[in-house]
Amino acid sequence: MKIKVDFHVHTVYSPDSVITFQDLRDGCREKGIDVVAIMDHDVTEGAFELAARSEELLSRGEWAPRVLVGEEVRTTKGEICGLFLSRWVPDHRPPRETMELIKEQGGLVYVPHPFDLLKLKRLKASELIELSGLIDIVEEFNGKPRLPLANTLARRFLERHPLTPAAGSDAHEPTHLGAAFVEMEDFSGPGDLMEKLPGGRISGKMYSPFASAYTRFRIRRKRRAGDAAT
Ligand SMILES: [Zn+2]
């Protein structure tokens, strides 16, 4: 059976996202996303909680997206994501150490937005090659607007180097869920994912940066007003 996987989503556990569990559930259902990887910034608390809530719903026969526990870890040279984590990965360590901490616990190393040239701290192409023995997946398509060339450069890099590509929306608000995804054969764990991911098909489109910031502002304001009313 083919499923759609959004490999990069932020929830309210990230300071810059407004996506609640309910939003995640509704948004994924609406966009036809079956599996989401939660990649909150430097925390895993939300990912573990939401994975448990989704499992509980699924066990009762109710609809929920399957949740993969991940973390977007800030390192001394940009961000590295861990996937299939069983515990939190500390931030602000060198990239190699971060990758080793992910691998030690049986997780997969996922490099998000590798050619986001606007970021001062990021791994250069030569460093990605140097660390490629520790890298499992590289994000070929990221839905968040960056320099338009970023995704093209990532695709070109992946055409030349034998690393497995994937895609994620990098959604920080509900309407962006599923903006980028991989359609692939269903999988049951990290090993199985790595076997099936190369046969997947990447789809994606970038959303507008301005609409995005404004929508997040509106959602926060509305929720604050709601809190004050209760
Ligand atoms: Zn992100």
**Superfamily covering domain 2-223:** Metal-dependent hydrolases (3.20.20.140)
User: What is the model's pLDDT at position 117?
Assistant: 76
How far is the centre of ligand 1, averaged over its atoms, from the C-alpha of 80 (Å)? 10
What residues have CB less than 8 Å from 189, skipping those under 6 apart?
84
How far is the centre of ligand 1, averaged over its atoms, from the C-alpha of 8 (Å)? 6
Q: Which of 51, 58, 71, 83 is nearest to 189 (CA)?
A: 83
How far is the centre of ligand 1, averaged over its atoms, from the C-alpha of 79 (Å)? 9
Is the pTM above the cut of 0.85?
yes
Instruction: Give the ranges where the chain is alpha helix by DSSP (H).
Output: 21-31, 45-59, 95-104, 125-130, 149-160, 190-196, 209-229
How far is the centre of ligand 1, averaged over its atoms, from the C-alpha of 176 (Å)? 12
User: What is the model's pLDDT at position 79?
Assistant: 95
User: What is the model's pLDDT at position 118?
Assistant: 76
What residues have CB less than 8 Å from 38, skipping those under 6 apart?
9, 10, 11, 46, 47, 50, 51, 67, 68, 69, 70
Residue 180 · residue 139 · CB < 8 Å: no
Tens-level pLDDT at each residue, the chain (230 residues): 899 999 999 999 998 899 999 999 999 999 999 999 999 999 999 999 999 999 999 999 999 999 999 999 999 999 999 999 999 999 999 999 999 999 999 999 999 999 887 777 889 899 999 999 999 999 999 998 777 789 999 999 999 999 999 999 999 999 999 999 999 999 999 999 999 999 999 999 888 776 667 777 777 777 788 776 55
CB atoms under 10 Å from CB of 37, counted, come to 25
User: What is the model's pLDDT at position 228?
Assistant: 62
| C-alpha to C-alpha distance for 105 and 4, rounded to whole angstroms | 26
Hey, where are the domains in the chain? 2-223
How far is the centre of ligand 1, averaged over its atoms, from the C-alpha of 229 (Å)? 32
| C-alpha to C-alpha distance for 165 and 112, rounded to whole angstroms | 10
| C-alpha to C-alpha distance for 98 and 86, rounded to whole angstroms | 14
How far is the centre of ligand 1, averaged over its atoms, from the C-alpha of 82 (Å)? 12
How far is the centre of ligand 1, averaged over its atoms, from the C-alpha of 162 (Å)? 24
Q: Which of 26, 28, 64, 72 is nearest to 46 (CA)?
A: 72
How far is the centre of ligand 1, averaged over its atoms, from the C-alpha of 25 (Å)? 19
Residue 155 · residue 218 · CB < 8 Å: no
Residue 53 · residue 21 · CB < 8 Å: yes
Q: Which residue has the tokens 């995640």?
A: 24
How far is the centre of ligand 1, averaged over its atoms, from the C-alpha of 130 (Å)? 23
How far is the centre of ligand 1, averaged over its atoms, from the C-alpha of 121 (Å)? 15
Q: Give the phi and the psi of residue 220 in degrees, each rounded to 5.
A: -60, -45
